[in-house]
Amino acid sequence: MKNKIYLLSIATLLCACNGKEDIALFPQVNNEYDPGKPTLLTDIEPKYGGINTPFIVKGNFGDSLSHMKVYFGKKYAVLTRTNGSTILGLVPKLNAGRHPISVVCGNDSVTQDSVIFKYEQTKSVKTVAGAFGDDKYQDGDLNTARFKEVSNIATVKGTNSDNVIAVESWWNARVSLISPEDNSVVTLSTSHSFGTPAVDNTREKFYLLSHWSEDRTIYSYSRAENYAEKNTGITITRNDMPGQIWSGAFRENDDQHLFLLDTECNFCEVDLENRTYKKIPLTGDKPNDFRDRSQFIYSKYHHCFFASFYQMAGIYRIYEDNNAQWHIEKYAGFNGAGTATGHRLKDAQFIEPYGMTVTSDGDIYVINRAGAFISRISGDYVETVAGKPGRSGQVNSDTEPLDAQFNSPQDIAADSEDNFYIAGGWDRTVRKLSIE
């Protein structure tokens, strides 16, 4: 009777999590934990699926869920229940392909070569807010809100899911908060023409500065204060940073120092607490062709900054060595404007690379502004993941991002679950690229 009750609970939970009658995929297992046997992994059901697919691993594990972890490759799953011989959980977000399963129980870790899970991704490009070609300026719900041109974008922490900060800098000086959870778009500021928000490590505060102004003042916005615009009293002068400044970034575990890079490769560190800044010399292979756009991000995975200079058709790496000296080096591209994929330095091409973001796994996503497509740098390999290179348009896709089309996309930002929000540029939209 005890096992019947447990299995009924599993069936109920599986149906609730998956929203359909998939319990037939899961065979009944009546064995209990046997303390006389070693920790053992024997099987997983089902053998394939996508994000949040309910699963059961079978074996001999122990009697405490708090001491257990189930890994799909290097990612661990959310676990919900165990009876010692089975563990119930939900598949995490993974890359497509086969992933070995391992189970950790206290100090014991077990694997089995035959226990493999095949992850099947779902992909889409959808409009979150705005409408193709409709260049009105208005707040509202996600369906009725409109933008002149969304040029820069970032994500911040919301109540239960992430919110999006959208910036219009070309045809309309406007900063908006997009809340998918609340189904709303609300204007935060119309004071200046800003670039990409620099979001701190709490993800509850961001900073902006006017890239066009003679003297650029830094403004702060905090979730605790409903993102009211506040003047920090810090101004970056043209004498120190003569190029345009389109973005800034924070290193991990340091919300006091904001780093800025202008379009002429001048680099500085802003002390937000003391309201000062200092220029930092960069040594290495600097860009030698300047125009009006570059983008600047920090990667917690790589522990360094990356910068795009779209006139150079390439991505730079900026890092600090053990002697506190800063260096810049070519990282990807620099093979002329084009759409070639392959090794990031030997083969890869970009067409006006601009907005960038990095995932928790270290993949760098790059907007190709004039090329109307999105590239991914994964390890040493560059590939196209969304859009039709060289074909501008305004097309979504429910199944394949490579079938979508963009019209001068500008920027991209990853949320806490590695979904991507795209500043659509002349689309007049904010779009979401999901690879789950």
For residue 153, the model assigns a pLDDT of: 98
pTM to 2 decimal places? 0.84
Element (H, E) at 298: strand 294-299
Q: Classify domain 123-435 at the CATH superfamily level.
A: TolB, C-terminal domain (2.120.10.30)
Nearest CA to 289 out of 264, 261, 315, 314 is that of 264
pLDDT in tens, the chain (436 residues): 333 333 334 444 444 344 333 433 444 445 578 888 999 999 999 999 999 999 999 999 987 888 999 999 999 999 999 999 999 999 998 988 999 999 999 999 999 999 999 999 999 999 999 999 898 889 999 999 999 999 999 999 999 899 999 999 988 899 999 999 999 999 999 999 999 999 999 999 999 998 877 789 999 999 999 999 999 999 999 999 999 999 999 999 999 999 999 999 999 999 999 999 999 999 999 988 777 688 999 999 999 999 999 889 999 999 999 999 999 999 999 999 999 999 999 999 999 999 999 999 899 999 999 999 999 999 999 999 999 999 999 999 999 999 999 999 999 999 998 999 999 999 999 999 998 8
Same fold, 2-119 and 123-435: no
DSSP state letter for 227: T
Nearest CA to 194 out of 222, 165, 225 is that of 165
Per DSSP, the chain holds a count of helices (H) and strands (E) of 1, 35
353-358 sheet: strands from edge to edge: 342-343, 381-387, 373-378, 364-368, 353-358
- 346 φ/ψ sector (left φ>0, alpha ψ -120 to 50, else beta): alpha
Q: Where are the domains of the chain?
A: 2-119, 123-435
Per the CB < 8 A criterion, the answer to whether 103 and 110 are in contact is yes
pLDDT digits (tens, 9 = 90+) for 147-184: 999 999 999 999 989 999 999 998 889 999 999 999 99
For residue 288, the model assigns a pLDDT of: 84
Name the fold adopted by 2-119. Answer: Immunoglobulin-like (2.60.40)
The single-letter code of the amino acid at 75 is K
For residue 167, the model assigns a pLDDT of: 97
Chain-centroid distance of CA 42 in Å reads 35
Per the CB < 8 A criterion, the answer to whether 383 and 376 are in contact is yes
Average pLDDT, the chain: 91
For residue 158, the model assigns a pLDDT of: 95
